[in-house]
């Protein structure tokens, strides 16, 4: 088990022991840097806890077969996430270097998105999905053509199929809530956990749990106080300090380490066939796919600086984009880059650099809204321009 979580040996050893001794707690918080494997470890733990055998990745038991394609019926995923980079990366890899591993990578990347549209999560709010039904149906049908045990389609078929998967995924992303985990979803999941009786283990994975609305946090506290037997709540975050102390007191915090530069280069080379040194780390690798679709963080930074003399704030429509895990940090990095040029975009580049650092710190320490912080930075920059 945990064969697909690399360079997190201390954590995987601990989890393996707890799964094997049936001592894994009902509530955990997996925390660590972006792209450190938080969702991977949560999904693998869910598979291991459901397995009838020894939880090898190739296990043939019914639960493992369902978990490998994220079709296990009692597994729910919710929370903000930047879905497109993984989907686009998986699509490219399958087209250029088709293999079983890459087939599963793409299927799972798309299923992480589709899981957000489970009917339970939208019970009573089905009208909000009206614009998504056609895309949901199309994406499910397209994905079926990739499922094992059918052979991987030929290159010509993939060239037609994969762009359709990308387009449908992009349309669905726009339908998802842009302000964290809604309280209605937490309540529905709590009712499901308490009200359904089954011999199978049940799992709720809350990604970017630090971005939950306050009301949702309070609702989550109630179910974490007395989680139903056989139900596991796994919270994921890159900012442990932004999790309420009352929630921390009800879960076990388990950390994932920042992989070394050498380890990340090995992952990039082995998993994604990136030549050593071409890309600095996993975050940069996935950001490159999003950059292609969003026009580039450098272009957004240029818009920021050139709009300082305009009366209109340029990013009113970007709130959801900033909230995604990697985008806020990537944008701040893009703002920093031109400050060292011969012709910086502001009169006081040193002061601008300090403002950007302060903005990043306020996000990390106080979990303030990314959209609000960038808007505040914009108007504060105007004052020194």
Residue ranges in the chain assigned as alpha helix (H): 9-20, 38-50, 62-68, 84-96, 100-114, 133-144, 155-173, 183-195, 214-225, 245-248, 261-272, 282-294, 297-306, 319-323, 327-336, 349-366, 370-384
Q: Omega of the bond prior to 149 within 30 degrees of 0, cis?
A: yes
Interhelix angle for 155-173 vs 84-96, to 10°?
A: 180
Span 211-261, pLDDT tens digits? 887 889 999 999 999 999 999 999 999 888 888 899 999 999 999 999 999
Q: Is 205 exposed, middle or buried (0-12, 13-18, 19+ CB in 10 A)?
A: buried
The CATH number that domain 9-255 falls under is: 3.40.50.300
pLDDT of residue 365: 66
- Tell me the two tokens of residue 78: 């919710």
Over its C-alpha atoms, the chain yields an Rg (Å, rounded) of 21
pLDDT of residue 384: 84
Per-residue pLDDT at 322 exceeds 60: yes
How far, in Å, CA of 352 to CA of 190, rounded? 46
Q: Tell which residue, 13, 29, 19, has the closest CA to residue 252.
A: 29
Could you tell me the pTM of the whole model? 0.81
Q: CA distances (Å), 18 to each of 14, 15, 206, in order? A: 6, 5, 21
pLDDT of residue 319: 74
pLDDT of residue 71: 97
Q: Specify the 3-state DSSP secondary structure of 252.
A: strand
Per-residue pLDDT at 366 exceeds 70: yes
Per-residue pLDDT at 333 exceeds 90: no
- Tell me the two tokens of residue 24: 């894994």
Span 195-225, pLDDT tens digits? 877 788 999 999 999 888 788 999 999 999 9
Q: C-alpha angle with apex 142: 136 to 145, nearest 5 degrees?
A: 145
pLDDT level of residue 325 (50, 70, 90 thresholds): low
The domain segmentation of the chain, as residue ranges, is: 9-255, 295-384
Span 60-102, pLDDT tens digits? 999 999 999 999 999 999 998 889 999 999 999 999 999 999 9
More confident residue, 36 or 340: 36
Distance of CA 165 to the CA centre of its chain: 18
Q: What phi and psi values does residue 76 have, to the nearest 5 degrees?
A: -120, 140
Span 4-17, pLDDT tens digits? 999 999 999 999 99
């Amino acid at each position: 088990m945990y064969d697909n979580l690399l360079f997190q040996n201390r954590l995987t050893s601990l989890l393996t022991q707890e799964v094997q001794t049936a001592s894994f707690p009902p509530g955990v918080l997996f925390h660590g840097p972006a792209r450190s494997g938080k969702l991977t470890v949560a999904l693998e733990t869910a598979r291991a806890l459901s397995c009838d055998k020894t939880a090898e990745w190739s296990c043939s038991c019914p639960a493992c077969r369902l978990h490998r394609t994220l079709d296990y019926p009692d597994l729910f995923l919710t929370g903000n996430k930047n879905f497109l980079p993984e989907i686009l990366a998986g699509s490219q890899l399958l087209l250029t270097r088709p293999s079983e591993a890459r087939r599963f990578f793409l299927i799972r990347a798309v299923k992480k998105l589709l899981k957000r549209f489970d009917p339970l999560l939208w019970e009573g709010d089905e009208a909000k999905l009206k614009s998504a039904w056609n895309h949901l149906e199309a994406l499910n049908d397209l994905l079926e053509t990739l499922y094992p045990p059918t052979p991987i389609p030929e290159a010509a078929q993939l060239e037609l199929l994969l762009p359709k998967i990308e387009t449908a995924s992009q349309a669905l992303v726009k339908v998802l809530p842009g302000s964290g985990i809604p309280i209605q979803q937490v309540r529905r999941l709590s009712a499901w956990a308490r009200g359904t009786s089954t011999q199978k283990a049940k799992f709720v994975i809350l990604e970017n749990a630090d971005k939950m609305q306050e009301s949702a946090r309070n609702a989550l506290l109630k179910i974490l106080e007395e989680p139903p037997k056989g139900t596991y709540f796994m919270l994921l975050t890159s900012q442990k300090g932004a999790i309420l102390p009352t929630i921390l007191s009800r879960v076990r915090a388990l950390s994932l380490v920042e992989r070394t530069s050498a380890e990340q280069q090995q992952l990039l080379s082995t998993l994604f066939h990136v030549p050593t040194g071409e890309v600095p780390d996993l975050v940069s690798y996935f950001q490159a796919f999003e950059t292609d679709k969003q026009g580039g963080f450098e272009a957004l930074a240029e818009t920021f600086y050139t709009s300082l003399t305009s009366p209109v704030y340029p990013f009113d429509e970007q709130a959801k984009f900033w909230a995604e895990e990697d985008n806020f940090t990537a944008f701040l990095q893009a703002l920093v880059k031109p400050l060292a040029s011969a012709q910086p975009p502001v009169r006081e580049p040193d002061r601008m650099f300090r403002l950007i650092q302060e903005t990043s710190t306020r996000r990390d320490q106080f979990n303030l809204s990314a959209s609000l912080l960038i808007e505040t930075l914009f108007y504060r920059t105007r004052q020194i321009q």
